[in-house]
Each structure stands twice: as C-alpha cells, then as structure tokens.
Amino acid sequence: MTDAPTTPLDDLEPPTVDEPAASARRTDGPRTRWAAIVWGLTFAAIAAAGYGVTSSTRATATLIDTVADAQIGPAVAIGLLVIGGLVAIAGVAGLLRASQRSLATRRLHQSTHESTRQT
C-alpha cells in the first residue's frame, strides 16, 4: 500500500490551455492528397487499358498468344520497365507534395501587406 494522498474526482480541475495557442488557426485549408490522386489516375488508366484489351475476343486471343510465346529476356525487360514506371509515378506524387509544402511555407511567411499586393 502507498502513502500517496488521494483526491476525490470532484476536486480535479481540467488543465488550462494558453489563449494564444488555442486561438491559433490553420489558414492554409485542407491538404490535397497528391499520391492518392496520381495513383488513382494510374490505376484507372491501367483498368481502362485492360478493359480495352479484353473487350474483344480477338484482342484477348492475341494477348494470350503473346504471353504464351514470351521469352525470358523480353519478359525481364518489360518487368523492369513496369517497375521503373511505378517509381516514376511515385516520384511525380512526391514532387507534387513537395511543391504543395513549399507553397504553403511561402504563404505562411508572407506578411499581410505582401499577400494582398497585386502584381
């Protein structure tokens, strides 16, 4: 058993919050999820291409014959090309997010007089 004093729950007060910190608001608005937009468009394009290839019986038969006749060299090259494309898409999403952060930082550091000035 401990000798620590106990207080009834009615005597406890909630912690106070500093007024300046509580009144500070974010002015840049909601954040755009660039990765979701870029990857969503990528997968939509892949789905549309897949639908286009498999929409006719002749195109599907050609795809099956091409895959069945594939050799290891071209298959590895196509695999590396696909991986490179996915890395490039991830890079584009990263660049868009970095530019969004840069723009938000620039807006944050502008004074009121500068932000209302028209050029």
Express each pLDDT in 53-90 by its tens digit.
888 899 889 889 988 998 999 999 999 999 999 999 99
Express each pLDDT in 11-60 by its tens digit.
666 656 555 554 444 555 677 888 899 999 999 999 999 998 888 899 88
Which region, left, alpha or beta, applies to residue 29 given φ > 0 means left and ψ of -120 to 50 means alpha? left
Contact 78, 23 (CB under 8 A): no
In angstroms, the CA 91 to CA 18 distance is 41
**What amino acid is encoded at 104 in this protein?**
A
Give one DSSP letter per residue of 51-117, joined into a string. HHHHSSHHHHHHHHHHHHT--HHHHHHHHHHHHHHHHHHHHHHHHHHHHHHHHHHHHHHS-HHHHH-
In angstroms, the CA 102 to CA 60 distance is 47
Query: Global pTM?
Result: 0.56
pLDDT at site 110: 74
pLDDT at site 22: 45
pLDDT at site 34: 86
Express each pLDDT in 91-113 by its tens digit.
999 999 898 888 888 877 775 55
